[in-house]
Amino acid sequence: MPIISSHILDSVKGCDAAGIRVRCQRLISGAEPQAVAEVRAGDDGRIAIEIDTHNDEPGTRYEVVFFSGEYFAVGRQSDGVSGLINEVVVRLDLSDVSERCHVPMMIAPHNHSVWWSQ
C-alpha cells in the first residue's frame, strides 16, 4: 500500500512544525470526499499515512490538507503575525505509486512551498 509522507517545516522559526494537523481525504468524481486519516506531526515535523488504493476507481485522487493557519494561531509561532493562508491543500494521483509519495512542505503565515521527493 502506498504511503503519503511529509516533513513539514516552519520557515518563520526555522524548525520542524511539530503538532501541525494534517488531514487526508479520498476524492472520487461525483461523491463527497471520504476521510482517510487525520494526524498531527510528531516533534520531528513528520507524518506518514498508509493508503489502501486496492479498490480505487479510475480517476480517484487524494487530498492532503495542512492546517497552517491553525498551527501558527495556536502555537503563536509567528510572533503575532496573522496570515491570510489558513490551509494548504495538495491533491495527489496515487494510481502509479506503489510505495511512498513524499511531499515535504515549508510553511509561514503568508506563504508555503511544497515539492515532491522520493
Write the CATH number for 81.
2.60.40.180
The parent domain of residue 16 ranges over 3-114
Residue 75 pLDDT: 63
- Which residue type is seen at 66? F
If one compares 104 and 82, the residue with the highest pLDDT of the two is 104
Average the pLDDT over each of 18-32, 46-60, 67-81 and give the range with the smallest value. Answer: 67-81
pLDDT greater than 60 at residue 78: no
pLDDT at 14 over 70: yes
Mean of pLDDT values over 6-31: 96
- The x, y and z cell numbers of residue 33, run together, are 470526499
Whole-angstrom distance, CA of residue 73 vs CA of residue 83: 9
pLDDT band at 3 (very low <50, low <70, confident <90, very high): very high
3-state secondary structure 57-116: CCCCEEEEEECHHHHHHHHCCCCCCCCCCCCEEEEECCCCCCCEEECCEEEECCEEEECC
Q: Which one has a higher pLDDT value, 80 or 107?
A: 107
| Mean per-residue pLDDT of the chain | 92
Residue 68 phi/psi, 5-degree rounding, is -70, -40
The alpha carbon of 42 is separated from its chain's Cα centroid by a whole number of angstroms, namely 13
Compute the distance between CA of residue 107 and CA of residue 69 in angstroms, rounded to an integer.
9
C-alpha distances out from residue 52 to 4, 13, 107, Å:
11, 35, 28
Q: Give the count of domains, the chain.
A: 1
Q: Is pLDDT of 77 > 60?
A: no
Closest CA to 116 of 88, 96, 92, 85: 92
